[in-house]
Amino acid sequence: MNKKIGSSCAFSVLALAVVSPAVFAATAITQDEVVAAQQKWGACLVNIGKTSVDKGDIKVAAQTCIDSLYAYDNGGVLFKPTKAAADQFRETKDQALSYFVAGGIPEDHGFALQPWTNVRFENSGVLMDSDSALAMGNYYFTDGQTGKEVKVEYTFGYKKDKDGNLRINLHHSSLPYAPPAAH
């Protein structure tokens, strides 16, 4: 019986590959692609803040970033922003937009509007699979008003869309743990 199940499964996978080759078209993600995606994300965040300072359309700038970097239209995104408490997760594009530039969620004040002048990633590690990657570490945001860096911990997940573009499907960030002051 196991042989029949095994060959049936093999036939189903083969049939799926013939019917829908795009499912298996993904190429392996490289370390360089992950680093490039991180640089694009940082540049997008800086651009949103610059657009705000220049009195431009911040919603268009943020929506462009969300549309080009996140996988909301490509299977979904698990997004837990740094400064989110009452509404911890951003499951839709509109919720992500609210987080970056303020909007529909009362606690959102526009994280990207600081403005930040630089975002620097330091990967603790990157794990790559055939069609996905996970990166974890610290990223540092340079405050445009003070010049000081703010350290934030992150985990990002990536996958390729049908055109081979890397998309973020997991974004979790948090401020580092601060132990209570000694008494």
Please indicate, yes or no, if residue 73 is contained in any of the structural domains: yes
Residue 37 belongs to domain spanning = 30-174
- pTM higher than 0.75: yes
| Contact assessment for residue 97 and residue 127, using Cβ atoms and an 8 Å cutoff | no
pLDDT at 37 over 90: yes
Over residues 131-176, the pLDDT tens digits come to 899 999 999 999 999 999 999 999 999 999 999 999 999 999 999 9
| Contact assessment for residue 49 and residue 144, using Cβ atoms and an 8 Å cutoff | yes
pLDDT band at 9 (very low <50, low <70, confident <90, very high): very low
Cα–Cα distances in Å, from 148 out to 64, 96, 115? 27, 25, 12
Q: List alpha helices for 20-80, DSSP H.
A: 31-53, 58-69
Average confidence (pLDDT) over 3-19: 38
Please indicate, yes or no, if residue 103 is contained in any of the structural domains: yes
pLDDT band at 130 (very low <50, low <70, confident <90, very high): confident
Please indicate, yes or no, if residue 136 is contained in any of the structural domains: yes
Please indicate, yes or no, if residue 71 is contained in any of the structural domains: yes
CATH number at residue 106: 3.10.450.50
- The tokens describing 173, both together, are 């960030």
Share the mean pLDDT of the chain.
Answer: 87
Please indicate, yes or no, if residue 10 is contained in any of the structural domains: no
Please indicate, yes or no, if residue 144 is contained in any of the structural domains: yes
Report how far residue 67's alpha carbon sits from residue 146's, in angstroms, rounded to the nearest whole number: 30
Instruction: Say if residue 29 is exposed, middle or buried (CB neighbours under 10 Å; 0-12, 13-18, 19+).
Output: buried
pLDDT at 120 over 70: yes
Average confidence (pLDDT) over 100-115: 94
Question: Shortest CA distance to 91 belongs to which of 75, 102, 107, 103?
Answer: 75
Helix (H) or strand (E) holding 124: strand 116-128
State the total domains in the chain: 1
Please indicate, yes or no, if residue 57 is contained in any of the structural domains: yes
Please indicate, yes or no, if residue 20 is contained in any of the structural domains: no
